[in-house]
């Protein structure tokens, strides 16, 4: 369930998106926060993949499937219409149209503490390149932003932009990975040529994690060698002033909801051995106070967290965290679970898991998180190093961490297991086929595995920007022919017995990948452990009971394979 508040501080209504069984497709309904009930006769958008933004109290901008076939090849909307309160959807007026070859078109509204409003329509040319269009009294006009950039907030009439590529403006260059701003009033006059100013730029081991706005401030979370940092920025006549928020060191830091009627915002911190905590931040003073903290769910008194680096196939140092008992013997006998993601510029940071702590760490197991390329831990370049046909380096990074763990005698192939989901499930599939000798257990969750037919399954066509266009580029086809897990299963190989999990209602990746992979293994004479939940969407379950069941199956498998 997702919520979108009406863009006026004095209003009390919002839109709630309701998912059936965890699907990405939703039904959207208008909700009154004061009465705690859906609004009689209010906005209702029927089931579908859609993007919605308030334009004002009586109008929505909606991207959805208006008629059969009004979706891109990726299965997302590309036509935006203005929906008027009380009028049927059939009367909605078209305001923007992309093309079927786009990934999707989305709508968003930002409002600052002074009531100024920025409504944009974002046309995703692929997963990482966009056109951003300004919606206003003069119609819809394209903003002159770099293709790999996104507006992330509005504060004091300045639009804040995340840059995943450099922004060249005259003689100045704002570097990739930085935060910039432009004046909204100037952009409304000349949208094709906004003038940017730099807010934050990364150092060699820095990365931008998140940003959000309060009434008068911009909150920014960054990574310093995969350790969370938080900052409060105030706009001035000559630039931006910065205040550091004193968050605990060596923890992951995430932004929660921010209030545009005050300078308060929620922030969460979490660590492998430190329970998740919710803090209320005063962005004006840079102070924070803990509001709630998850009680400790496992005994971590004998555990430690260390950070190491492994040399990949090209010599690049890849950092990884190891959580283990302080008194382990370095003789290769410690059962060890290694995980990573390695894609879509997603950063993997320390996180408190009660289930992993209770069912793995307390039983003497070690947990390893590898910050391999493809992620965002060190900015856009760390991600771009593994795009398309360069992707083998991501899989080499992961294997290098596995070998480093074995070389350090923290564990051994007999005691080493790996786990990952979605793109991380693809990572597990590649490691399963390329390096079966390194692992005794492999957990493959809601995975991508058939990379030759990825564009024909669920939303797979939308990820050509990440994996390359198999159907349109012979070099990409050749790469995946030798790398795609499904196509590279072979008879007579000593594969570890895998545990493969998916859900019937996964309308993002689709259950076909997992089903085909398991069936092919069985066809080749291997035994497979396979579980498919009928609900859950692209996740572990549609509710806590289903998620707990999936966790129990996973941990039982890992304990039997690595601890017995």
- Residue 89 has a pLDDT of 95
Instruction: Say how far apart CA 454 and CA 509 lie, in whole Å.
Output: 9
Strands (E), 188-263: 197-200, 206-213, 218-224, 227-235, 240-245, 252-258
Write the Ramachandran bin of 41: left for phi over 0, alpha for psi from -120 to 50, otherwise beta.
Answer: left
User: Distance from CA of residue 297 to its chain's centroid?
Assistant: 26
Q: Which pairs with CB-CB distance under 8 Å and at least 24 residues apart come from 276-281?
A: 276/351, 276/352, 281/219, 281/230, 281/232, 281/245
- Residue 169 has a pLDDT of 85
Structure-block tokens of residue 166: 């450099």
- Residue 542 has a pLDDT of 80
Active-site hit among 133, 324, 383, 538: 538
Instruction: Say how far apart CA 340 and CA 524 lie, in whole Å.
Output: 28
- Residue 1 has a pLDDT of 44
- Residue 8 has a pLDDT of 53
Structure-block tokens of residue 337: 């679970």
For this structure, is 129 an active site residue? no
| 488 CB-contact burial (10 Å; exposed 0-12 / middle 13-18 / buried 19+) | middle
Alpha-carbon torsion, ordered 315, 321, 323, 324, to 10 deg? 20
- Residue 6 has a pLDDT of 56
Q: Does residue 554 contact residue 419 with C-beta atoms inside 8 Å?
A: yes
- Residue 543 has a pLDDT of 87
Active-site hit among 51, 232, 422, 484: 422
C-alpha neighbours within 13 Å on the C-beta side of residue 310: 25
Instruction: Say how far apart CA 323 and CA 249 lie, in whole Å.
Output: 16
Write the Ramachandran bin of 391: left for phi over 0, alpha for psi from -120 to 50, otherwise beta.
Answer: alpha
Degrees to nearest 5, angle at CA 561 with 559 and 494: 160
pLDDT under 50: residue ranges of the chain? 1, 3, 9-10
Q: What is the 3-state secondary structure (H, E, C) of 87-146?
A: CCHHHCEEEEECCCCCCEEEEEEEECCCCCEEEEEEEECCCCCEEEEEEECCEEEECCCC
- Residue 4 has a pLDDT of 55
Q: Smallest Cα–Cα separation from 487: which of 449, 522, 457? A: 449
- Residue 172 has a pLDDT of 84
For this structure, is 538 an active site residue? yes
Structure-block tokens of residue 184: 């909204």
pTM of the model: 0.92
Q: What is the pLDDT of residues 188-217, one digit of tens each?
A: 999 999 999 999 999 999 999 999 999 999
């Amino acid at each position: 369930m997702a919520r979108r508040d009406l863009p006026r501080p004095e209003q009390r209504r919002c839109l709630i998106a309701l998912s059936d069984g965890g699907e990405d497709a939703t039904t959207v309904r208008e909700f009154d926060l004061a009465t705690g009930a859906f609004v009689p006769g209010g906005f209702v958008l029927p089931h579908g993949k859609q993007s919605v933004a308030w334009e004002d109290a009586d109008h929505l901008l909606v991207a959805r499937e208006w008629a059969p076939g009004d979706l891109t090849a990726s299965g997302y909307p590309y036509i935006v219409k203005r929906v008027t309160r009380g009028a049927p959807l059939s009367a909605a007026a078209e305001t923007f149209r992309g093309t079927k070859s786009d990934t999707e078109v989305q709508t968003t509204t930002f409002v600052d503490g002074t009531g100024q409003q920025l409504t944009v329509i974002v046309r995703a040319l692929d997963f990482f390149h966009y056109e951003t269009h300004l919606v206003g009294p003069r119609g819809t006009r394209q903003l002159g932003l770099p293709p790999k950039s996104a507006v992330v907030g509005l504060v004091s009439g300045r639009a804040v932009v995340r840059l995943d590529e450099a922004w060249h403006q005259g003689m100045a260059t704002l570097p990739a990975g930085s935060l910039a701003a432009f004046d909204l009033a100037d952009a409304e006059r000349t949208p094709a040529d906004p003038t940017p100013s730099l807010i934050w730029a990364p150092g060699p081991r820095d990365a931008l994690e998140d940003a959000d706005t309060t009434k008068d401030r911009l909150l920014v979370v960054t990574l310093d060698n995969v350790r969370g940092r938080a900052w409060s920025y105030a706009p001035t006549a000559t630039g931006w002033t910065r205040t550091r928020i004193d968050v605990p060191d060596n923890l992951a830091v995430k932004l929660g909801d921010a209030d545009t009627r005050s300078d308060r915002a929620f922030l969460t911190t979490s660590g492998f051995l430190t329970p998740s905590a919710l803090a209320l931040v005063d962005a004006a003073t840079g102070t924070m106070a803990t509001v709630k903290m998850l009680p400790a769910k496992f005994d971590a008194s004998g555990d430690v967290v260390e950070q190491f680096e492994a040399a990949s196939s090209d010599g690049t140092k890849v950092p990884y965290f190891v959580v283990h008992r302080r008194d382990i013997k370095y003789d290769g006998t410690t059962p060890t679970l290694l995980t990573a993601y390695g894609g879509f510029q997603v950063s993997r940071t320390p996180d408190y898991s009660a289930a992993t702590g209770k069912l793995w760490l307390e039983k003497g197991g070690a947990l390893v998180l590898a910050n391999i390329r493809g992620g965002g831990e060190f900015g856009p370049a760390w991600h771009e190093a593994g795009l398309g046909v360069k992707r083998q380096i991501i899989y080499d990074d992961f294997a290098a961490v596995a070998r480093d763990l074995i070389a350090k005698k923290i564990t051994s192939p007999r005691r080493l297991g790996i786990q990952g989901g979605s793109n991380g499930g693809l990572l597990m599939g590649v490691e399963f086929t390329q390096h079966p000798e390194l692992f005794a257990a492999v957990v493959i969750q809601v995975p991508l595995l058939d990379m030759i037919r990825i564009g024909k399954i669920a939303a797979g066509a939308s990820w050509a920007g990440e994996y390359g266009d198999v159907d349109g580029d012979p070099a990409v086809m050749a790469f995946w022919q030798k790398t795609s897990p499904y196509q590279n299963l072979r008879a007579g190989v000593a594969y570890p017995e895998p545990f493969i999990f998916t859900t019937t209602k996964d309308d993002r990746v689709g259950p076909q990948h997992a089903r085909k992979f398991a069936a092919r293994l069985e066809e080749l004479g291997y035994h497979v452990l396979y579980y498919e939940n009928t609900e859950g969407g692209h996740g572990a379950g549609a509710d806590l009971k289903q998620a707990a069941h999936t966790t129990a199956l996973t941990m039982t498998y890992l304990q039997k394979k690595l601890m017995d």
